[in-house]
Amino acid sequence: MNYLDVKIQKLERQNRCLTYAVTIIGLVLSLLFLLSATPGQKVQDEIVAHSIRVVNDQGENSAQLAATPDGFVGLSFTDLKGESGFSVMMTPSGKTSVDFSRNKRIRLELGVIDGNKGEEYSLQLKDREGKPVWQVPVRNPY
């Protein structure tokens, strides 16, 4: 076989794969359309659960929305190693914080904390051990 024949066969294989893929996508979309158009189908107004977790096929990385029995609510994202990289949390009293983590340590924290004059905003950068290395010089009460 010469070079041109090999290229033509490769293009024909790719064309077949593309045709199969487009056909399957078309069938799936048609099925979804038919299912969504089913008369009398009731749409769920609310889903109630303690936790909702979304994972990839291998379950290696995830996003989780959860509420604890003691009143904390959080949304967190984990990497392929299962380590938290980003989280948003609210305490039972309504104080919120956003944390960026690396190697199981919070490296950047933004949130509402209890200060000398009541609740205050806080912004802290932390080192590898989780100790503050910089924070806003003047805390801003709200």
Which candidate, 139, 111, 109, 114, places its Cα nearest to that of 127? 109
**Residue 58 DSSP symbol:** T
**Cα separation of 83 and 92, whole Å?**
25
Whether residue 82 has pLDDT greater than 70: yes
pTM: 0.55
Q: Which residue has the tokens 């009143």?
A: 71
Same domain (yes/no): 72, 10:
no
Same domain, 15 and 71: no
Asked whether residue 18 falls in the same domain as residue 76, the answer is: no
Q: How distant, in Å, are the alpha carbons of 21, 33, 66 from that of 28?
A: 11, 9, 32
Per-residue pLDDT reduced to its tens digit, 14-72: 777 777 777 888 788 777 776 666 566 666 677 788 888 888 888 777 888 899 899 88
Of all residues in the chain, what percent carry a pLDDT higher than 90?
1
**What residues make up the domain containing 32?**
1-39
Are 23 and 56 part of one and the same domain?
Answer: no
Q: Does 103 fall in a domain?
A: yes
Span 112-133, pLDDT tens digits: 766 666 677 777 788 888 788 8
pLDDT for 142 beyond 60 = no
For residue 91, what pLDDT is reported? 85
Residues 32 and 66 in one domain: no
**Cα separation, 57 vs 116, whole angstroms:** 48
Q: Are 118 and 135 in contact (CB under 8 A)?
A: no
| Structural domain count, the chain | 2
